[in-house]
Structures are given as C-alpha cells and as structure tokens.
Amino acid sequence: MANFSLASTAEPEVGTSGINKLIGAFGLLLLAGLGVGVYGFLVGHEHVYNNTREVPWGLLISTYAFFAITSTGLCLLAAISHVFGGNKIAPLANRMVWLSLITIISGFLVIGMEIENPWRMAIWNVISPNPTSNIWWMGTLYGMAVGFVVLEFWLILTKQYKLALLLGVFGAFAETGANSCLGGVFATLPSHPFWYGGQLPVFFLACAFTSGAAATVMFTHLAHVIRRKQMEPVIFDGVQAAAKVLLLMLLLVSVATFWKMVSYFVGGTEAGRAAAMTLTSGPLSMNFWFFEILLGLAAPLLILVVTRLKNVTAMSLAGFLTLVGMFVSRMDMVIAGQLVPQYAGIDSNLPVYFNYMPSGYEWIVAFAGIGLTGAAFLLGERFFGKTFADHGGH
C-alpha cells in the first residue's frame, strides 16, 4: 500500500478561525439532527414526524432523494472527466469525487433518521435479499457505490490513478443503477398515477447531471472564496465547462417538466390530474411556481445566458439557485404524489387533498444533511486541498 501523509495533502492556511467557526455551525446542525433522530427512536417516529398512514413519505424521503441524485451526478461527471482525460472538467474531478462521497453519506444520514429500524434494513438487506424489489436494488447499489468511491478517493490520495480510474467507473455504474432504481421505486406504483410510468428514472438521471454540475460550479467557486484566491485559468475553464453542462441540463429538465405536466391534462387519469393540480393551483403551487420553476429553472438559465458564462460569481449563484430548485422539486414530487386520496370519488367522506406539512423536527433532520455536507466540504478543503489542486495525474 502506498504511503500517505496528511502533510502532503493538507492546506493548513485554510483552517482560519472564521472557517473553523463555520465548520462548528455546520456541526451544530448535524448534532441537532442526530439528537432529533435519537429522540424519534426513543419516543416513536409518529410523535416527531408528521407522516401519516395516508402520506407515509415526506420531507426526509425527498431530502434523501436530493442528496442521492446529486451524488450520482457528481460521480458520473467525475468518472466521465477521468475516463476521457484532457477535457476541461478533468481538473475539477478530484473534488467532485469527495463531494459525491459526502453527499451520498448525507443522504444515508437523513434516511437513517427517517427509517424506524435502520439497523434491520442493513441486516436483512444482506441475509434476506429480494432481487425483485427496487428498494433492495437501490440500497444495495448505493451501498456498493459508497465502497467504490471511498476506495477511489483513497487511491487518488495515494496517487494510484489507474486503479482509481477503474474504481471510479465501477462507482459510476453503481450510482447510475441506484439512481435508476430510486426512480423506479416511484415509477412502478400504479396506485399513484402522478409517479407511475417510465419517465421518472430517466428524469432522475437528467436531474442528477443538473445537480452534479450545479454543485461542481458552486463548490469549486466556494473553495476559492474561502482561500481568498483567484482561480487559475485552467480551473476557470473547468467551471465554464461544468456551467455549460448545467445550462444544457436546465434546458432539458425544463422541457421534461413542461411535458410531464402537460401529460396529466391531456388524456391523463383523474387522479394524476388532481395530483398535478396540487402543484399548479393547489397547496404546493407556491413551491412549484416560485421555487421550482422561477428560482430553480428560469433564474439560473437567465443568469447563465445573460452573463455568457464569463462571471464565476454569477455561475456559482446559478448553481446555488439550481440546487435550491432541485431540493424543492424532489419535495414537490414526493408529496404531490400522495395528497390525492386513492379512493377519491368512491368514498364521499374523503377530503379533496390529504394534509401534510413537514414538522420542525423533520426540517432539523433535513438540515443535518446540509450540515454534514457543509462541514465535510470545509474539512476536505482543509485536509485534502492539495489533492483537489493536483490535476496532473489523470
């Protein structure tokens, strides 16, 4: 095994008092979420989270999906840039591998707090596999992906680039399969017409590239902001290339979102149409029109087009707004698919829509995922900064 020393990868100058305070703030978010999770295990999830029998999946499922999808995009972009060396995004790839790892672990943290007995899932996933289950494949493949990415990152740290490339490819395949199965968890539920169909797995893959490109642009910019240092031309070119991917994917996701919504009103089922109307004119309309469409799709597109990818701060802002939109989009999709009663029109006692509002505890757990990602990003810059800057070995 190759020798490794933190002294060869760390950047002590990143560990300023301001950065340490910021790490502490993110750490407090993480600890608060862990505290809520433990409290939920002790008193019962039904006393902590606002999920019901009618709406069993809520904010924490959508937050997990957001982190998992973002991780997939980062892993895929890193693998593609490593495999096809010499491209402009390649200098950003080492940081992307780290970001892919910390975002999927953040997703696991959130879903671990949501599942009532996560230890049972880990045990029975191994000793009682169910190859006919999308959820089993999703968990298994994401678990494999974490193993591959951990090994890949270690090999990058020890400069064993050829083997790292191979592990990166394996990780990308595992994450792609897991991302597809995550979409399949929703897409194969005929009792929920808003989800049912073959579009979601492909849509999730498009969102993965969108979120991955957005995170690449934003975090690369932030890495230079905390160092108070200007980007090298080769890094700026890489950010521009990632922003071009972001621009293209924003266009594709916008078109897919348009036709997805149109399909419910042209020949769709009544239940699917009613679920879509929760977004267009119902209880989720503010989320949909302002956060998902205006803030998450239109504004980033406008910023990127108007600035012509010349301003790194503008590109980073577009990336941030995209990630906000993707987060809300996952929440809208998960919740809207459950608000319409399955027996609407049959049972006159049913409401038009079921009610669901995330509890404060749910938001604390969701922000724990953000806290873990933020703290791990800053710690990564502190301890692996030289590795992120070393882009000559691929």
Let me know: does 73 contact 215? Beta carbons within 8 Å: yes
* 130-146 b/e (C-beta count within 10 Å ≥ 16 → b): eeeebebbbbbbbbbbb
How far is residue 273's CA from residue 255's CA, in Å, rounded to a whole number? Answer: 19
**pLDDT tens digits, one per residue of 154-178:** 999 999 999 999 999 999 999 999 9
133 occurs within a structural domain: yes
23 occurs within a structural domain: yes
Number of domains in the chain: 1
The confidence score (pLDDT) of residue 393 equals 55
How far is residue 51's CA from residue 357's CA, in Å, rounded to a whole number? Answer: 9
Nearest 10 degrees: Cα torsion 17, 19, 23, 29: 100
- Read off the pTM: 0.96
Let me know: does 271 contact 340? Beta carbons within 8 Å: yes
Domain hosting residue 283, numbered range = 15-45+56-342+351-381
Going 375 to 380 to 385 to 391, the CA torsion angle's sign is negative
**pLDDT tens digits, one per residue of 235-291:** 999 999 999 999 999 999 999 999 999 999 998 788 899 999 999 999 999 999 999
392 occurs within a structural domain: no
How far is residue 155's CA from residue 326's CA, in Å, rounded to a whole number? Answer: 31
Going 38 to 41 to 42 to 45, the CA torsion angle's sign is positive
The confidence score (pLDDT) of residue 351 equals 85
Q: Give the rounded distance of the alpha carbon of 153 from its chain centre.
A: 19
Q: What CATH number did the domain enclosing 272 receive?
A: 1.20.1630.10
7 occurs within a structural domain: no
Sequence-separated (6 or more) residues with CB below 8 Å from residue 34? 113, 368
386 occurs within a structural domain: no
Nearest 10 degrees: Cα torsion 296, 273, 283, 179: -40
Phi/psi for 142 (5° steps) reads -65, -35
The confidence score (pLDDT) of residue 5 equals 82
The two tokens of residue 89 are: 């995004």
Phi/psi for 308 (5° steps) reads 55, 30
Q: What is the 3-state secondary structure (H, E, C) of the chain?
A: CCCCCHHHCCCHHHCCHHHHHHHHHHHHHHHHHHHHHHHHHHHCHHHCCCCCCCCCCCHHHHHHHHHHHHHHHHHHHHHHHHHCCCCCCHHHHHHHHHHHHHHHHHHHHHHHHHCCCHHHHHHHHHHCCCCCCHHHHHHHHHHHHHHHHHHHHHHHHCCCHHHHHHHHHHHHHHHHHHHHHHHHHHHCCCCCCCCCCCHHHHHHHHHHHHHHHHHHHHHHHHHHHHHCCCCCHHHHHHHHHHHHHHHHHHHHHHHHHHHHHHHHHCCCCHHHHHHHHHHHCCCCHHHHHHHHHHHHHHHHHHHHHHHCCCCHHHHHHHHHHHHHHHHHHHHHHHHHHHHCCCCCCCCCCCCCCCCCCCCHHHHHHHHHHHHHHHHHHHHHHHHHHHHHHCCCCC
Helices 93-114 and 17-43 pack at an angle, to 10 degrees, of 30
The confidence score (pLDDT) of residue 391 equals 67
Residues lower than pLDDT 70 in the chain = 1-2, 344-345, 348, 391-394
1 occurs within a structural domain: no
The confidence score (pLDDT) of residue 390 equals 79
99 occurs within a structural domain: yes
Q: How many residues does the chain have?
A: 394
Going 21 to 315 to 307 to 327, the CA torsion angle's sign is negative
Nearest to 260 by CA among 204, 298, 305: 204
Measured between its terminal Cα atoms, the distance across the chain in Å is: 20
How far is residue 334's CA from residue 356's CA, in Å, rounded to a whole number? Answer: 11
8 occurs within a structural domain: no
